[in-house]
C-alpha cells in the first residue's frame, strides 16, 4: 500500500532511504501494488542510488505470456527509473503455461532487462512442473511464511532447499497481526525485543530465508533492522514452536 496516499509520501520516501542507509538494499515491489504507484515511489526515492540496490518486481499472471511479459517489464522499468531489474517474479500462477513464462523470462534475461527471474506463491507440485518446463534457472520462490503460516515447512521448503532455491518470505509479521499475540509478546518481553523483531528473527533463524517486511516510517525501518541482529536461543525457538506449532500433515501453500 505504499505510494497510494499523498499524505504519506514524504514518510514513505524517508523510510526507503533510511532502509538503504542501514544496509537493507533489497527492495521488493510489483506492478500490482497501487497499479504501479509503489514502483514510481521507489524510483523517485531511490533512483539516484540505483547501483546500491537489488530491485525486485513482479508481473501479473495474465501478463506472463510470451507476447505480454516484455511490455510489463518495460513498464516496471520505466516507473522505477532504471534499465534493469535484479529479480523479476511471476506474482502467482495463472492460466499462462509455465513453459511459456519460463521462455519469456529467459528472453528478458538474454536482453539484459533482468538479471535473474523467479516465482511467487508456487507450491511443490507447481515448482516441479516449472523445473520440468525448463525452469531450473528459477532464483527464488516468494511465499507467505511466518509463525502462523508454517505449512510450507512440510514439503515445499525442503524441496526448495534440495534444489538450491532460496525462499523469500512475504508478510513475515502477518501484516502486523502477529504483534498482538500474547505468547509472542511474552517471549519478546523476556528477551528485551519487540514482538515484530522476534517474529522477523524467527523467520531468518537459519539463514535460508529472505524476509521482506514492509515499513512505511523511519522508526519502523529501524525496528526491522534491529531484528537482523537478534539471535534467538534454543529456549526461545522451543517456546515459539510450542506457541506456534507447525502443521503435522502436509498443508497447501497459503497466499494473501
Cell numbers for 133: 518446463
Let me know if 60 is a catalytic residue: no
Tell me, what DSSP letter sits at residue 245?
P
Which of these is catalytic: 33, 88, 145, 170?
33
Tell me, what DSSP letter sits at residue 126?
H
In whole angstroms, how far apart are CA 222 and each of 80, 197, 214, 228?
24, 10, 12, 10
- Contact, 145 vs 152, CB < 8 A? yes
- Contact, 32 vs 63, CB < 8 A? no
Q: Rounded to 5, what percent of the chain is helix, strand, coil?
A: 50, 15, 35
H or E element in which residue 12 lies:
helix 9-21
Active site residues: 33
Amino acid at each position: 500500500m505504499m505510494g497510494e496516499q499523498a499524505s504519506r509520501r514524504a514518510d514513505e520516501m524517508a523510510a526507503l532511504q533510511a532502509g538503504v542507509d542501514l544496509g537493507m538494499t533489497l527492495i521488493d515491489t510489483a506492478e500490482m501494488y497501487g497499479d504501479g504507484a509503489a514502483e514510481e515511489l521507489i524510483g523517485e526515492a531511490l533512483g539516484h542510488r540505483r547501483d546500491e540496490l537489488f530491485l525486485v518486481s513482479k508481473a501479473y499472471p495474465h501478463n506472463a505470456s510470451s507476447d505480454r511479459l516484455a511490455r510489463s517489464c518495460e513498464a516496471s522499468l520505466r516507473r522505477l527509473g532504471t534499465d534493469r531489474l535484479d529479480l523479476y517474479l511471476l506474482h502467482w500462477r495463472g492460466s499462462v503455461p509455465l513453459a511459456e513464462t519460463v521462455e519469456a523470462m529467459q528472453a528478458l534475461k538474454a536482453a539484459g532487462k533482468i538479471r535473474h527471474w523467479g516465482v511467487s506463491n508456487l507450491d511443490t507440485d507447481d515448482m516441479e512442473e516449472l523445473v520440468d518446463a525448463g525452469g531450473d534457472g528459477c532464483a527464488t520462490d516468494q511465499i507467505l511464511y511466518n509463525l502462523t503460516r508454517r505449512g510450507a515447512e512440510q514439503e515445499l521448503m525442503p524441496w526448495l532447499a534440495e534444489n538450491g532455491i532460496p525462499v523469500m518470505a512475504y508478510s513475515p509479521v502477518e501484516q502486523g497481526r502477529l504483534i498482538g499475540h500474547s505468547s509472542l509478546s511474552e517471549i519478546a518481553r523476556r528477551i528485551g525485543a519487540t514482538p515484530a523483531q522476534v517474529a522477523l528473527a524467527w523467520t531468518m533463524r537459519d539463514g535460508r530465508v529472505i524476509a521482506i517486511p514492509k515499513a512505511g516510517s523511519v522508526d519502523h525501518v529501524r525496528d526491522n533492522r534491529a531484528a537482523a541482529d537478534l539471535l534467538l536461543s534454543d529456549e526461545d525457538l522451543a517456546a515459539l514452536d510450542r506457541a506456534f506449532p507447525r502443521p503435522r500433515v502436509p498443508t497447501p501453500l497459503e497466499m494473501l
